[in-house]
Amino acid sequence: MDKKAKSIPSGKLIWHPTIEGIAAVSGIFSLIVAGLLMINYVADQSGLPEKELIYSSQLAKQKALLTQDPQNEQLKKEIRALDYELRQDFFWRKTFSEKGKLLLLAGIAVFLLAMKKLADLQRKPHKPQTGSREPNFDATKRRQARQAVSWMGLILTVGILSLALAPKLDIPALPSDDSDASVVSVPEYPTDEEIQQNWPRFRGPGGLGISIHERAPTSWNGETGEGILWKAEVHLPGANSPIAWGDRVFISGADKKNKEVYCYSLESGDLLWRNRVENVPGNPGEVPSIMEDTGYAAPTMVCDGARVYAIFADGDLICFDFSGKRIWAKNLGAPDNVYGYASSLSSYRNLLLIQYDGGTEDDDQSVLYALEGKTGQVVWQAKRPVANTWTSPILADTANGKQFITCSEPWVIAYEPETGAELWRANLMGTDLAPSPIFAREMAFVIQPNETLFAIRCDGRGDVTETHVAWKKDCPTPDISSPVSNGEFIFLLDGAGVLTCYETQNGEMVWDHRFDDFFLTSPSIAAGWIYLVSDNGKTYRVKAAREFEQADSISTLDETIMASPAFLDGRIIIRGDKNLYCIGSN
């Protein structure tokens, strides 16, 4: 008999190998489950698993084809199949993450109990007992016990892992071919209708400065509080404009040392969460040199209905969900911009779109990025032969499909947002660009500051400089504010307070009017009126019509305003240098 056996009471000798086997099986089982959980966690943090990423990309492409051929039954079947596989993968990972934690705890508990039992068995010394016994009786029993425990452990492990790795998924049944629902889809991104109801980016849906809502506040007074639902403190400076989705209002702020993102309640103005932007992977730790007017948080955020995204002058890009949980972050490298990076973020379906221009047109620094919104992984990127800019891109809903239109020296370039393929370009732009393009009447309108207004037809391909410029107007165009159009007319507001109305069809001037104020914000149209917010907090309203007509009342807020307002149903969100305001009535 070996030394270990001599230290164990004979009555418990048979149980010793059994408990040893249980400890070994539970320990190995816990290591396996822990490893699988770690793999699953890393996959969630670093991006979609390869299979799911491929399916998601294929599904998006198939849906895009379906919009062009909505009666294609074979395409519908393929979309249903891809959608089903995508949801299976998603629920598999989610269910395993939940059940795996319980399995790991159970395995560790069994392992600890077995180890404790082994320690207890070895405390009492063995006293030899008399009586006849076959010499190999104990060894035989121990061998049989080990074999039994090994088989039991193997069966238990296979059974539990099978349960964990192949859970029953509560996935809705796919529609039959004759079902009214042509496609069952996971809500990966908001519908166009949802986007129109909210204000998800700089200048609202598409970046056009147009509100679809029929109700809009008409007067308010910052001194008396009349017409102001709430006022909330702005903690850090930022030239970015507020965005809003549902009951959430978002802004960002930054100085030389700190960067933060804020979420307010639309109903009450309460600060729901305030998160610092720090420990961003890839951040070099160097603060770029910028102009004071631009600041460190000039780009406006964007929201896709489930997550919000912010970018800063040092290239830090971050994503939060609506509860304030940090989803992912990365650094794109600070762009070489003489004024400081200011292009606002945009989105298309499940993609986050970033116009990241820097240097000169020959420096090969400018890039257009499309990132998967929920993971931050690059879906596509396009090199751009352009210089740094202050402009922001727009998403135009043209007769030939969606176009992502950008404006930088020297090119106006339109891209297919799904793939990044270049559609057309026009060599029209000079230096120091700040006004962003807009889209109306199947044309893109772009501004060369203080010189020219261009109208470009959006149905061309390749270099359209000589073929698709519908008209151009040499005039004192704005150097900062972006234009706005109701389709029939285009309105330009320069910094010195001159508002000019032109025909969109031919560029003929209809009227102009000078206000005794200066303006840094861009005009917006809501409920048939043009809203003009001056840098000293005054808001003027002018009819978006052929005849100039100004509203009698002039609304006031007693602080400097550089950010363009956000428009919702019956409400306006305005960011000042010290406070955030919600204008409206109960």
Backbone phi, then psi, for 112, in 5-degree steps?
-65, -40
Query: Domain-by-domain residue ranges, the chain?
Result: 3-165, 192-583
Q: What is the pLDDT of residue 88?
A: 57
Polymer length in residues for the chain: 586
Distance CA 184, CA 492 (A): 44
Mean pLDDT on 551-575: 97
d(CA 140, CA 129): 19
Residue 181 sits at the vertex; the CA angle it makes with 178 and 184, to the nearest 5 degrees, is 120
Alpha carbon separation from 192 to 24, 189, 203, 264 (Å, rounded): 57, 9, 16, 24
Average pLDDT value for residue range 64-72: 60
pLDDT of residue 490: 98
Q: How confident is the model at residue 94 (pLDDT cuts 50, 70, 90)?
A: low
- Let me know the angle formed at the C-alpha of 443 by 437 and 449, rounded to the nearest 5 degrees: 35
What mean pLDDT is predicted for residues 467-490? 97
Mean pLDDT of 355-368: 95
Tell me the HSE value of 64 on the side-chain side, using a 13 A CA sphere. Answer: 16
**Which has the closest alpha carbon to 311: 339, 336, 346?**
346
Q: For the residues 294-317, what does the mean pLDDT come to?
A: 97
| CA-wise closest residue to 84 among 173, 167, 187, 191 | 173
Decide which of 107 and 172 is more confident.
107
**Which CATH topology does 192-583 take?**
Methylamine Dehydrogenase; Chain H (2.130.10)
Pairing of strands 422-427, 462-463: parallel
Residue 119, C-beta contacts closer than 8 angstroms, at least 6 positions apart: none
pLDDT tens string 269-297? 999 999 999 999 999 988 888 888 899 99
Q: What integer pLDDT is reported at residue 211 of this predicted model? A: 98
Q: Which residue has the higher pLDDT, 205 or 585?
A: 205
C-alpha angle 306/311/313, rounded to 5°? 170
Handedness of CA 333, 338, 341, 344 (dihedral sign): negative
User: Does pLDDT of 174 surpass 50?
Assistant: no
pLDDT of residue 150: 58
Residue 85 vs residues 59, 89, 463: alpha-carbon distances, Å: 10, 6, 41
Structure tokens at 564: 């363009």
Residue 586: what pLDDT?
72
- DSSP strand E in 255-385: where? 259-265, 271-276, 302-303, 307-311, 316-321, 326-331, 346-348, 351-356, 367-372, 378-383
* pLDDT value at residue 566: 98
Tell me the per-residue pLDDT of 105-162, one tens digit each, with 9 for 90 and over: 777 877 777 777 767 766 655 454 444 444 554 565 556 555 555 555 554 555 555 5
Q: What is the pLDDT of residue 389?
A: 95
Q: Could you tell me how far CA 104 lies from the centroid of its own chain?
A: 33
Task: Give the pLDDT score at 89.
Answer: 61
Question: Hey, what amino acid is at 322?
Answer: F
Exposure string of 383-392, with b = 16+ CB inside 10 Å and e = fewer, is ebebbbbbbb
pLDDT value at residue 169: 40
The pLDDT value recorded for residue 73 is 67
What does the pLDDT average to over 400-412? 97
Structure letter (DSSP) for residue 542: E
- Is the pLDDT reported for residue 257 higher than 90? yes
pLDDT of residue 181 exceeding 50: no
Four-CA torsion 442, 446, 450, 452, nearest 10 degrees: -60
Residue 523 per-residue DSSP state: P
Q: Inform me whether the pLDDT recorded for 177 exceeds 50.
A: no
Structure tokens at 105: 């705890």
Query: Is pLDDT at 10 greater than 60 in this prediction?
Result: no
Q: What are the C-alpha distances in Å from 361 to residues 364, 367, 388, 409?
A: 7, 11, 8, 7
- DSSP SS3 for 531: strand
Residue in the structure block whose two tokens are 């389709």: 487
Structure tokens, 150 = 């090994």
Q: Can you read off the two tokens belonging to residue 135?
A: 């010499």
CB 191 within 8 A of CB 306: no
Q: What residue type is assigned to position 444 of the chain?
A: A
Give the pLDDT score at 359: 94
Is residue 538 within 8 A of residue 560, CB to CB? The reply is no
Tokens 């299979």 -> residue:
51
CA atoms of 231 and 566, how far apart (whole Å): 15
Neighbours of 463 (CB within 10 A): 13
Burial class (CB in 10 A: 0-12, 13-18, 19+), 547: exposed
Share of the chain above pLDDT 70, in %: 75
Provide the pLDDT for residue 182.
36
Widest CA span in the chain = 119
CA atoms within 13 A on the CB side of 335: 30
Residue 183 has pLDDT above 70, yes or no: no
**pLDDT category of residue 171 using cuts at 50, 70 and 90:** very low
Tokens 């069966």 found at: 155
Average pLDDT of the residues in 83-97: 59
Per-chain mean pLDDT for the chain: 84
Q: What are the angstrom distances between the C-alpha of 455 and each of 328, 441, 472, 481, 504? A: 39, 10, 6, 17, 8
Q: What is the pLDDT of residues 211-255, one digit of tens each?
A: 999 999 999 999 999 999 999 999 999 999 999 999 999 999 999
Contact 287, 279 (CB under 8 A): no
Query: How far, in whole angstroms, is CA 121 from its chain's centroid?
Result: 58
Dihedral of alpha carbons 377, 407, 382, 359, sign: negative
Which has the closest alpha carbon to 457: 447, 443, 437? 443
Contact in structure between 36 and 97 (CB atoms under 8 Å): no
**Contacts (Cβ under 8 Å, ≥6 apart) of 246:** 198, 266
Kind of pairing between the strands at 524-526 and 302-303: unpaired
More confident residue, 444 or 66: 444
Residue 165, pLDDT > 90, answer no
Q: Is-contact 515 481, C-beta < 8 A?
A: no
